[in-house]
Structure 1
Amino acid sequence: MTFTLAHLSDPHLPLPPKPRFADLASKRMLGYLNWTRNRHSIHRREILDALVGDLQAQQPDHIAVTGDLVNIALPAEFAPAREWLESVGPPDRVSLVPGNHDTYITATATHFGESFTDYVSGDDGAPGYPYLRRRDHVALIGVSSAVPSAPFMATGRLGEAQRSRLEAMLQGLASERAFRVLLIHHPLRSRSRFKRLTDASALIALLQRHPVDLVLHGHDHVHATIRIDTPTGTIPVIGVPSASAFNDHHRPSAAYNLFAISETNDGWRCEHRSRGFAGTETVQELRDPVLL
């Protein structure tokens, strides 16, 4: 039996019109100016809607969304973001983790969890990260790398407590016949010190001790594939462009990934393919499927 997992990230839904000046205090002012001067012309709702429509036509068994639903975490951004996510799928078919834009400043850092509790809860219903969801033979593990950061910074961090809980969870999964997928917003390796996961080396060391089968992330708005070496093999780490981007001269246009996961006599088989925009305003297959 094949389980199809879709992955999209960084939709960056449009800001509400004319936010109050008081709401734009501190780092939010920089984010608002960036949106009005540049990002609003790149992150387009009609592109996002077309991409999601194509994704739903593929009829995946489950959908992973790895953060940055909003832009500067205004209170008024969360209700429309919730409405959009419900249009993607119900909580039992969509697994979500937050991005740095979802926890943009400390004052509203809890709004994301309060708005999307049923999308970021494990099968046990307990709040907090990591969470664990079992869907057929796939174990989805969601962690949060989203923390408020200083102006001009977009770094993330899991922290020692979350890493400790993750290690215990992966130890418990080691004896199960499950394809383990880790969902995180930040990439495990970054070229920018201003956008990196600050405790990436500790997370990589943890995964080398207790491997997963696949890591999915967003944040950089690009197609990305790296591999983490472990004593038993390698872990593919796959990033995806923003789900709403179009005509960005620095990064690819919107895309999503599909992973067809099945069990064989030799272990797990995972086929990866991408669909998205490539110079035209229609979604298409971007490359031939590859085995991970």
Structure 2
Amino acid sequence: MAAFTLAHLSDPHLPPLPAPRLAELAGKRVLGYLNWTRNRHKYYRREVLDTLVTDMQAQAPDHVAVTGDLVNLALEAEFAPALAWLRQVGPADRVTTVPGNHDAYVRAMRHRFAETFADYSRGDAGDGRISYPFVRRRGLLALIGLSSAVPTAPFMATGTLGRAQLDALEKILVELAAEEAFRVLLVHHPLRSDSRPKRLTDSAGLIALIERHGVDLVLHGHDHIHSTMWFEGPDGRIPSLGVPAASALARGRHPAAAYNLLRIERDGNAWRCEQAVRGIDNQLTVREIRRIRLI
């Protein structure tokens, strides 16, 4: 069976931010808007995002995974441009996305992501309704989408899956164990975090599930850095990969925009997965940063 190439980008935080209506600037959004106007607008740039996506498309991946934070403050005016951008990335059968905390920034908009990006965040089975977790089978892959996106208090960016989602995930993992599929778990928040305000609150439950039932790869965003973490599974170690924000210029400890390109193939009775990382340099061109065999 031919190799499958999966591209992974995250946290586009689609710029520019549309002007909010006065009625929308309440509570947490006030702080987020001030942060954007004073700071974030300098570093999150549309030309960076477009350059990165153009390079990614030139690599001709079989599928693209986008692990959340498509928008910034979950303003109503942000969602239509974000959908237009996602359609430029690729059609819904070639692109899968899950929500991030900024996509559910305030309680009134917590379901807007699923409504807007339904075609990109819907499983293959069921009655067409959006629910998490979902499964999409693409070539060698079984893509498993989770939602860790929940509204939080000011100065907090935690994520939560909840008992119902974890229970449903366990059933999915049990079913997939009987199939010959490379299982890729998509979630916005990393499984392990040193930051209490940014952590996945029920990560222990998720880690316990993958330790017991296994997946082959975890892809996440949220931290805006290059990240490789390893977790124990029933058949060996499981890599978990994060990437910088897809529209970002480098600043402080946060590197410039990058994406993962993962080549996956069957190697006898086992899987082989090679990771290439491609990112923006100081001249705003994209180059390969590193290449490594993960599995």
Match of 1:93 in 2: 94
Q: Note the C-alpha offset of 1:15.
A: 4.5
Match of 2:131 in 1: 128
Q: Report the Cα distance in structure 2 between the residues aligned to 1:136 and 1:231, rounded to whole angstroms.
A: 24
Q: Report the Cα distance in structure 2 between the residues aligned to 1:75 and 1:114, rounded to whole angstroms.
A: 12
Match of 2:33 in 1: 32
Q: Report the Cα distance in structure 1 between the residues aligned to 2:152 and 2:274, rounded to whole angstroms.
A: 36
Select 2:281's aligned residue among 248, 269, 278.
278
Please tell me the residue identity of whatever aligns with 1:281: L
Please tell me the residue identity of whatever aligns with 1:27: K
Deviations 1:153-208 (A, max 9, x none): 00001000000000001100000000000000000000100000000011100111
The secondary structure found in structure 2 opposite 1:194 is helix
Match of 1:240 in 2: 243
Conserved in 2, the CA contact under 8 Å of 1:97 and 1:184?
yes
Match of 2:118 in 1: 117
Conserved in 1, the CA contact under 8 Å of 2:146 and 2:187?
yes
Select 1:175's aligned residue among 162, 174, 178.
178
Pairing 1:62-211 to 2, within 5 Å after superposition: 62-124=63-125, 125-211=128-214
Of all paired residues, the percent bearing the same amino acid is 62
Conserved in 2, the CA contact under 8 Å of 1:277 and 1:284?
yes
Match of 1:44 in 2: 45
Q: Note the C-alpha offset of 1:45.
A: 0.3
Deviations 1:240-282 (A, max 9, x none): 1100001322301000001100001141000001001133310
TM-score normalised by structure 2 residue count:
0.97
Q: Note the C-alpha offset of 1:287.
A: 1.3
The secondary structure found in structure 2 opposite 1:87 is helix
TM-score normalised by structure 1 residue count:
0.98
The secondary structure found in structure 2 opposite 1:236 is strand
Match of 1:23 in 2: 24
Q: Report the Cα distance in structure 2 between the residues aligned to 1:180 and 1:18, rounded to whole angstroms.
A: 40
The secondary structure found in structure 1 opposite 2:144 is strand
Q: Report the Cα distance in structure 1 between the residues aligned to 2:87 and 2:97, rounded to whole angstroms.
A: 12
The secondary structure found in structure 1 opposite 2:80 is helix
Select 2:230's aligned residue among 201, 206, 227.
227
* Greater displacement, 263-272 / 82-91: 263-272
For structure 2, which runs of at least 5 residues remain unmatched after alignment? Answer: none
Conserved in 1, the CA contact under 8 Å of 2:192 and 2:203?
yes
Q: Note the C-alpha offset of 1:232.
A: 2.0
Q: Note the C-alpha offset of 1:54.
A: 0.1
Instruction: Let me know the Cα RMSD of the aligned residues.
Output: 1.0
The count of aligned residue pairs is 292
Deviations 1:51-100 (A, max 9, x none): 00000000000000000000000011000000000000010000000000
Q: Note the C-alpha offset of 1:17.
A: 3.8
Q: Note the C-alpha offset of 1:132.
A: 0.4
